[in-house]
Amino acid sequence: QVQLVESGGGLVQPGGSLRVSCAASGSIFSIGTMGWYRQAPGKERELVATITSGYNTNYADSVKGRFAISRDNAKNTIYLQMNSLKSEDTAVYYCLARQLGQPYWGQGTQVTVSS
């Protein structure tokens, strides 16, 4: 079992920045791709960004150029740096880790962009 704990969410003004983190623990061998998804009220969960164990990244078009995903394999942690935040970025952000094809999800952290 892999446990994922997100942190760093909160309230930020439009145009501001925020960084969220996700730490993996438990049976963390062979964790491959990790990433961030988000779910806004009344909407389906959507991909934000992913990063492989080899540090290859992939982003949703809506966040390209504004968000950056990174990974520290020594700490089993990934980060999502969010810049130039917009009201439409408001959502619960969920961390995902894949281990031998099995997906594991964190509990989510709320990010609210509002003046």
Reported as a single tens digit per residue, the pLDDT across 71-86 is: 998 899 999 999 999 9
- Which residues fall within 8 angstroms of residue 76, CB to CB, at 6 or more apart? 23, 24, 25, 28, 31
Whether the per-residue pLDDT at 22 is higher than 90: the answer is: yes
Q: Which DSSP string corresponds to 68-83?
A: EEEEETTTTEEEEEE-
What is the pLDDT at residue 1? 87
